Amino acid sequence: MELNRNWHTIKAIFLRELTGYFGSAIAYVFIVIFLVLCGFFTFSISNFYDAGQADLRSFFEWHPWIFLFLVPAVAMRLWADERKSGTLEILLTLPVTLTEAVLAKFLAAWVFIGVALCLTFPMPLTAMYLGGPDAGAMVSGYLGSLFLGGAYLAVGSMTSALTKNQVISFVLSVVICLFLVLVGWPPVTNFLTGWAPSWLIATVEGFSIWSHFVSMQRGVLDLRDLVYYLSLIFFALYGTGVIIETRKSA
């Protein structure tokens, strides 16, 4: 009975948030910008047609950088807007637990990002038209992009809970996510190779979003990558709850 009540509460908040996304012009601007950037970087920068390979690596390799700015823009309003407008206090006085609210708002934003990803379906269709791409690699790449967006979103949820200012939340989220990318980005790890011990580089690289995303982009579904993303999402959302609870009792 309790589990059923929790599910209905999460579902109600989830639907309210998701409806709010698609009821605003910002959502459609986000989707258009995302699709335009994906197309531009894939076809103009990576020269998709000249690569001679019918796969989506040149498409997925840009997602960490495109999401780096677009996902924090979605996440910055999750809690900062609630706090600024004063609706956070109203929300928490309802028969809703903080866990339910955090999870529902995150899932709604994650589904929104997933919808944007689904709208890139012409990319795999193009690859299949040009040749015989590995379907497993495409599925793994999309799954990696979805979890990548979820990780960025969870970090953005946490920074949004820290401040009423959406711009500050956006900047903090971009900085944190950029750090999580760069610690595993090849130019950075190659630079560290000259003076840092290999075990330290491997340890730092294990905390990077980049290294886990690249393996999924290549079609490798490793349980460690999924555990990494789920752990990062869990701890960021847990941090969101702690911050909100602290601010509420302050």
Q: Give residue-wise pLDDT tens across range 203-224.
A: 777 888 988 898 888 888 888 8
**Torsion from C-alpha of 182, 230, 161, 5, nearest 10 degrees:** 170
* 151 pLDDT above the threshold of 90: yes
Range name among 140-154, 164-178, 185-199 with the lowest pLDDT average: 185-199
Higher-pLDDT residue of 250 and 87 is 87
Stretch 62-67: mean pLDDT: 94
Domain count, the chain: 1
Structure tokens given for 61: 């390799």
Over its C-alpha atoms, the chain yields an Rg (Å, rounded) of 19
* 101 pLDDT above the threshold of 50: yes
Q: What is the reported pLDDT for 120? A: 94
Which residue in 248, 206, 204, 203 sits closest to 225, CA to CA? 206
Which residue in 69, 244, 85 sits closest to 158, CA to CA? 244
pLDDT band at 111 (very low <50, low <70, confident <90, very high): very high
pTM for the full model?
Answer: 0.91
pLDDT band at 45 (very low <50, low <70, confident <90, very high): confident
Range of the domain at 134: 2-249
Which residue in 207, 148, 151, 215 sits closest to 183, CA to CA? 207
Stretch 146-165: mean pLDDT: 93
Q: What is the reported pLDDT for 78? A: 84
Q: Average model confidence (pLDDT) for the chain?
A: 85
Stretch 54-59: mean pLDDT: 81
* 183 pLDDT above the threshold of 80: yes
Neighbours of 164 (CB within 10 A): 16
Q: How far apart are CA 207 and CA 175, in angstroms?
A: 15
Stretch 99-124: mean pLDDT: 93
Q: How far apart are CA 189 and CA 194, in angstroms?
A: 9
